[in-house]
């Protein structure tokens, strides 16, 4: 009973008790105000990044990178 949903569409709304997350592997560089994001599938998944950046990291710049770059800057997959 404690898992109430706002809508029956699972893609639009999450349960109330569930924490929101950025959903993609990412690294935050707070000195440069950058967020490095790795997306394996590419287009059209990359279209979600600007929207998620506005919600989770307002004022930060997003940088999309490939697997090798993400691992070299310290990312874990």
pLDDT at 3 (0 to 100): 54
Q: Tell me what pLDDT residue 18 has.
A: 41
Residue of 52, 77, 58 lying closest to 66 (CA atoms): 77
C-alpha span between 66 and 9 (Å, rounded): 32
Separation of alpha carbons 19 and 72, rounded Å? 29
Using alpha carbons only, what angle is made at residue 29 by residues 27 and 34, rounded to the nearest 5 degrees? 90
Residue 8 has a pLDDT of: 53
Reported pTM: 0.70
Q: Which run of H or E residues covers position 28?
A: strand 26-29
Successive 10-residue mean pLDDT values, the chain, 77 residues: 50 49 88 94 89 92 94 90
Q: DSSP state, 76?
A: -
């Amino acid at each position: 009973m404690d898992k109430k949903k706002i809508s029956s569409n699972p893609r639009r709304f999450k349960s109330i008790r569930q924490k929101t997350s950025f959903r993609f592997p990412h690294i935050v560089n707070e000195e440069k105000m950058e967020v490095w994001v790795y997306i394996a599938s590419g287009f059209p998944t990359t279209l979600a990044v600007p929207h998620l950046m506005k919600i989770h990291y307002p004022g930060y710049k997003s940088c999309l990178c490939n697997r090798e770059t993400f691992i070299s800057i310290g990312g874990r997959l």
